[in-house]
Every structure is written in structure tokens, then in C-alpha cells.
Amino acid sequence: MLVSVDQDRCCSAGQCVLTAPTVFDQSTEDGYVQLLQERPEPALAADVRLAAALCPGRAITVSESA
Amino acid sequence: MTSPDTDTAVPRTTDPGPTLVLPAEADGCPFDPPSAYRQAADHAPVTRTELWDGSSCWLVTGHQEVRAVLADQRFSADGRTPGFPFLTPGRRELANRTPAFIRMDDPEHARLRRMLTTEFLVKRVEDLRPALQRIVDDTLDRMVAGGGPADLVTEFALPIPSLAICLLLGVPYEDHEHFQRQSSILLDITAAEEQVAGAQRELRSYLAALTADKRRAPTDDILSRLAVREDLTTDEAASTALLLLVAGHETTANMTALSTLALLRNPAQAARLRSGPAEAKVAVEELLRYLTIVQLGLPRAATEDLELGGTLIRKGDGLLCMLSTANRDESVFPGGSDLDLDRDARRHLAFGFGVHQCLGQPLARAELQIALRTLFTRLPDLRLAVDEDQLSYRTTMVVHGVHSLPVAW
Ligand code: HEM
Ligand code: SF4
């Protein structure tokens, strides 16, 4: 699983941090999403997928094949 | 998308369903959306509805369709966009004044919202938890010291978010009676246009004066940080502060009181909440879903011809996104008409979706988790002090809830 984030789409609602705190963080400087790891281990896959679905700005992309 | 329906302004759809006049009257269980909305949802995820002024708009009731509208900025949240649906004359009145960013589109909306995003970061709110716990403990101490029975709304549910938002914003709590009275007028859909305009004028001039004070002598709070910005006018700072003040206390207060009532009716569920902080987090998401206190549809207007759930929406059409029915969509929440504190309800839309999704949600969550868990842990014998049929519900308010909740312990 490969995760990417698009800060331009992020509206800092924090759903990602609540759902998968070891994968996403929010910058204390500007509130934008920060990716902590691009290739989370399979145990985190369900949380990361849910975070992508919950993200109100659709700023999180998960590619399963990569 | 070309054939012009010039004789009727109504866009074509396969089957618009029965026309519903809004806002629908509350009936049946106070926790359920009015049956008219549920019937519309059963008919189709997008149906036609008529407003007080005879205009018509789309009622969006399905989970997927509500998400699709709120995530797509071709649906405008700006009250000045042609076709924007107003639920009452008072709401229309508000749109004509300097709006806050909740009623703006990007890029203006993003410019103003981003000035606040670091204030409500999940980790920033985590750091606030001890202060919030103190507010909750002190408020509960005062209620208990007064002896029962007490009105949970005025003694517990309202003071907590008011104290919290005053602290963060830098508004003196002594003024809370004043701003609570004015903001309840703003959220009352039966209030006359002049009343709404008057309440808004009052609050704005109060906050503009406070902003000017903060500019002269900044303190460590949100209003001071807004006041000293050079890229923000006093007017914009006051609008933003007004939004935070109003959005920040009525919502959480009503959610606290209505949740308490729901838990008193389901004692087995209340046990779940007591079991620990992790359980309280899961429970609060389910309460947010089940109660969906933002009971009026979130208004948007289409700025292009678009397809939504098999229906053609025309440029200039208004839409109302019903969070309450979306949050009971059986395809996402099986058995969703029941409260089930074990449910994983995280897909709920109680805070909206898209770029306008609630900015204060980390704060609201923390307040609710702490308030409800503390209340039910410290007062295990909490009970209603009146018959349930004596309670009166906020059916004519933007935010659902109960007007007062007499309790004993
Ligand atoms: C249980 C409590 C709450 C609920 C259910 C709630 C619900 C909502 C909803 C549904 C929206 C979206 C409106 C739209 O898209 O048209 C919203 C927006 C907003 N809420 Fe909340 N809210 C709550 C608490 C709070 C708190 C505590 C604050 C602030 C301290 C707050 C501040 C805001 C702001 C500033 C917006 C506008 C965001 C934007 O337009 O970008 N809310 N809220
Ligand atoms: S959930 Fe999406 S919008 Fe919210 S902070 Fe994370 S990336 Fe940004």
C-alpha cells in the first residue's frame, strides 16, 4: 500500500490523525496534513483506507497495487 | 443537458416524488428525523421540495449523495449565489450581511478558515483536555452543590462549551447571558427578520469592540491573534469570532443534553460509556450519528448543470443536504434507527463533509467525551426529575435538542 497526500486539498479537519495517528499528523505551523509514513504495514491498511474515505478534502490517495 | 425547460423552472428528473414543504413538522420519536424526511429518503436519495416562499429545491437525503454535494465546490455555500435556498426569511436576512466563512466559497473561505486551523488541531485540543476536565468538574460540582433537581441544560450542558469557547476565544465569560440570548435568536427559525438582524447587529458590535480592545492589548487567545493580523479587517475578525462563538456553544450544549436523555432512556448503553475513555470515544461518535443535531438541511446552490444520484441538477438550483437521514442510511449504518454504542459510526456526517466540515470538531469531541463520561460516572443514579412527556424539544431551532432537562441524582 502506497499513501500520498495533497496539502492543497487539505482543510485541516483532522479526520486522518484521529483515524490513523501513526500514519498522519498535522503541522503545528499551518495545520496541513503531514505524512509520517508512505508505506504503512498491512496491519494499518484498514485504518488508512478509512482515513482516506473520511477525509473531507479528499486529500488522501491510497494506491493498493504499488 | 441542452433542452430548455422554459415553461417551468423545475429541472427534469425521472421521478421527483411527492413534493414536501419545508421545514417539515416534527412528529413521533424526538430522536428520529421528522417522518416527512424519512419518507422522502425512502422514496429516493434526491427529491423535490418546496420552501416557505413557494420556491422549490432539492432535498438530498442519501449518505453517498450528501457526501457528493458537500465535497464538490461546484455546489456553492455562498448565500449570494443565485438559487441559494433559504429556510426562512430570517436566514435570508443573515445572508445579506457580512457573512462569516461558513457562507463563503473558496478561495475567500479557505483564506479565512486557514487562519484558524492551527487553533483546532487534534493535538492542540488533546493538550486542552486537562483544562476541559477542570471546567467539567467545576460545573458539575456547582450543579451538585445546588442540590437536585436541576435543569441539566442551564446547569451543565450550556456552561461547559460556553466556558471553553470563551477561554479559547478570549471572550469574558461574565457576558455569557448576553451572547447566549442573542445567539439563540440567530438559531431560532421562528424569529422575525428584524429580530434576527437585531441580534446579529448586537453580537457583531459587541465582538467588534472586543476585537478593538484586543488589538490595543493582545492576550493569549484566538481573538487577539485575529485582531493583530494585518491581512484581516476588524469586520472580518468580528464575523469570524461571531461564527466561533455561536457555532461553538449551542451545538455542543444541545448535543450534551440530548445525549444525556438518550442515555437515560437506554441505561444498558450508559454502562458502555462508563467503562473507559476509549469506549467513551466510540460512544460519542454513535451519539453524534444517531442524534444528528444539525436538523435542518445544509444549504447549497449549483453553479453548473450536474448529475446527482441519477437526477439532473441545473445551474441555479438550490439543494438541502439532510445530515439526519444520511446518518441513518441503511446501506452505511444497518439498523441505523437504533442507538448502539458498540457501533463503529465514524462514517457519520454529523459534522458535515467537504471544505466546510466542522472546524471545531476536535474540540466538540473532547468536550462531549469528557462531559458525558464524567456526568454518568460521578452521578450513577442520574435520572429524569419529570415525566418524559413533559419535555419540550427544540423543533423550531437550527440545532435540535431539549429546551430544559430536569434531572435528579
Ligand atoms: C457537537 C457539536 C457540533 C456539531 C454537530 C457541529 C456541526 C457542524 C456542521 C454540520 C458544520 C458544517 C456546516 C456547512 O457545511 O454548511 C459545521 C461547521 C462549523 N463549525 Fe461546527 N459543530 C459542532 C461544534 C463546533 C464547535 C465546538 C466549534 C468551534 C469552536 C464549531 C465551529 C464550526 C465552524 C467555524 C464551522 C464552519 C467551517 C467552515 O465553513 O469552513 N463547531 N459544524
Ligand atoms: S483528514 Fe484530510 S483534510 Fe483533514 S487533516 Fe487529514 S488530510 Fe487534511
**Whole-angstrom distance, CA of residue B204 vs CA of residue B209:** 8
Cα distances from B201 to residues B103, B183, B198, B204, B242, in angstroms, run: 17, 11, 5, 5, 11
What is the set of domains in chain A, with CATH numbers?
2-63 (3.30.70.20)
- Burial degree of B77 (CB within 10 A; 0-12, 13-18, 19+): buried
Q: Say how many C-beta atoms besides its own lie within 10 A of residue B118's C-beta.
A: 17
Cis peptide before B161 (omega within 30 of 0): no
Question: Is residue B12 a part of any domain in this protein?
Answer: no
Q: Report the CATH number that the domain containing residue B54 is assigned in CATH.
A: 1.10.630.10
Q: Say how many C-beta atoms besides its own lie within 10 A of residue B134's C-beta.
A: 12
Give yes or no for residue B371 CB within 6 A of ligand 1: no
> Which ligand lies nearest the alpha carbon of B243?
1
Question: A7 at the B interface (CB within 8 A)?
Answer: no
**Whole-angstrom distance, CA of residue A24 vs CA of residue A8:** 16
Cis peptide before A21 (omega within 30 of 0): no
**Residue B49, pLDDT above cutoff 90:** no
A11:B346 CB<8 A: no
Q: Classify residue B276 as left (phi > 0), alpha (psi -120 to 50) or beta.
A: left
The runs of H, that is alpha helices, within A1-66 are 15-19, 45-54
Q: Say how many C-beta atoms besides its own lie within 10 A of residue B103's C-beta.
A: 22
pTM: 0.92
Instruction: Report the Cα A65 to chain-centroid distance in Å.
Output: 17
Q: Is B19 or B36 the better-scoring residue by pLDDT?
A: B36
Mean pLDDT of chain B: 88
Q: Is B9 or A47 the better-scoring residue by pLDDT?
A: A47
**Whole-angstrom distance, CA of residue A35 vs CA of residue A6:** 10
> Which ligand lies nearest the alpha carbon of B361?
1
Contact B13, B312 (CB under 8 A): yes
B169: domain range?
20-403
Model confidence pLDDT, tens digit, residues B248-296? 888 999 999 999 999 999 888 888 888 888 999 999 999 999 999 998 8
How many residues are recorded in chain A? 66
B354:A56 CB<8 A: yes
B114:A31 CB<8 A: yes
**What percentage of chain B carries pLDDT values higher than 90?**
62
Model confidence pLDDT, tens digit, residues A45-62? 999 999 999 999 999 999
Task: Residue B70: list chain A partners with CB under 8 A.
Answer: 56
Grid coordinates representing B244? 466561533
**Whole-angstrom distance, CA of residue B270 vs CA of residue B6:** 56
Q: Is B195 or B406 the better-scoring residue by pLDDT?
A: B406
Question: Is residue B6 a part of any domain in this protein?
Answer: no
pLDDT for res B16 = 53
pLDDT for res B196 = 81
**Whole-angstrom distance, CA of residue B267 vs CA of residue B261:** 10
Nearest CA to ligand 1 atom 6: B351
Question: Is residue B83 a part of any domain in this protein?
Answer: yes
CB neighbour list of residue A17: distance below 8 Å, 6 or more residues apart: A24, A25, A26, B122, B123
Model confidence pLDDT, tens digit, residues B67-113? 999 999 999 999 999 999 987 777 777 766 668 899 999 999 999 99
- Burial degree of B167 (CB within 10 A; 0-12, 13-18, 19+): middle
**Residue B390, pLDDT above cutoff 80:** yes
How would residue B197 be classed by pLDDT, with cut points 50, 70 and 90? confident
B357:A53 CB<8 A: no
Question: Is residue B50 a part of any domain in this protein?
Answer: yes
Question: Is residue B142 a part of any domain in this protein?
Answer: yes
Nearest CB neighbour to B355, from listed A11, A27, A50: A11
Question: Is residue B201 a part of any domain in this protein?
Answer: yes
Instruction: Say how many Å lie between the CA of residue B106 and the centre of ligand 1.
Output: 17
Instruction: Report the Cα B231 to chain-centroid distance in Å.
Output: 29
Question: Is residue B104 a part of any domain in this protein?
Answer: yes
**Residue B403, pLDDT above cutoff 70:** yes
Task: Residue A19: list chain B partners with CB under 8 A.
Answer: 346
Model confidence pLDDT, tens digit, residues B202-225? 888 899 999 999 999 999 999 999
Q: What is the tally of structural domains in chain B?
A: 1
Please state the atom number of ligand 1 nearest to the C-alpha of residue B299: 16
CB neighbour list of residue B48: distance below 8 Å, 6 or more residues apart: B10, B13, B16, B17, B19, B20, B56, B57, B58, B59
